Structure 1
């Protein structure tokens, strides 16, 4: 068997060009950034949900303590202290109007949440009173 000279061999280039590699890297980078943004959004929402859960738990406990026959301001102070411990600038209070009272828990809203005008499902005012700007609120009505 004789070998053909190099000039007669058919040469073929195989592999990827630099443009194809750059395009693949760009697509992977955009995909990775999208995944990271999704994870950050999920973490923020989980934190906000945890705060709302704590606030609802405290409001329920305040309503239960204040609807008891032996209700006292000491119980409200205890739950207000618990709210301040669990929530950023948290506060628990009782607002009464027309025989119906509301246990209200407020805390500092996360800075990363959308503005009130940008919300699709804007919550109702807290216990009949608008929550101050920058605060989130949970209210639970009860009767003594």
Structure 2
């Protein structure tokens, strides 16, 4: 026999707290899962932006090199073809060209944008057309004006 008899109400008080630790564990797991998904999404966004920045950097480097080559007296179309070939190797569907608009020369490098980036209609602050030329959807460009 027990020294302290159990009252019929003590059983109700004990059953009230039985599932509370399970609910706490489920909430903690859910919170950790949401946090982990947020961190993964942030890492994916960072990697995508780093890749896009790398493409823009290569395009700016090629445009600068085209402008430098065009300032040399002996080079011309051959330098443009050479840098366009390099653009095709370094950039997806890359192409380098030189145009003359109202007496100002411009080195233009175009390439296919990454598929994961937002469409141009989804961007709030749309950039101006690429040196006065409308690009096809899914393309990006860098234009560098120079004087010959």
TM-score (structure 2 length as normaliser): 0.86
Distance in 1 (CA, whole Å) between partners of 2:54 and 2:144 is 17
Which stretches of structure 1, 4 residues or longer, exceed 2 Å deviation after superposition? 5-9, 12-16
User: Does residue 31 of the first structure (1) align with residue 35 of the second (2)?
Assistant: yes
Which of 108, 111, 118 is the equivalent residue of 2:115? 111
Maintained 8 Å contact 2:119/2:138: no
Which of 56, 60, 65 is the equivalent residue of 1:61? 65
Deviation at 1:121, TM superposition (A): 2.4
The structure with the largest helix share of the pair is: 2
Count of residues in correspondence between the two structures: 141
CA deviations 1:86-118 (Å, max 9, x no partner) are: 000100001112211110000011110011111
Aligned positions of 1:1-144 closer than 5 A:
5=2, 17-144=21-148
Deviation at 1:137, TM superposition (A): 0.6
Q: 1:18 to 1:78 in 2, by over 3 A?
A: same
Distance in 2 (CA, whole Å) between partners of 1:46 and 1:120 is 21
TM-score (structure 1 length as normaliser): 0.88
| Unaligned 5+ runs, structure 2 | 7-13
Deviation at 1:120, TM superposition (A): 2.4
CA deviations 1:60-110 (Å, max 9, x no partner) are: 000111122222211111100110000001000011122111100000111
RMSD: 2.3
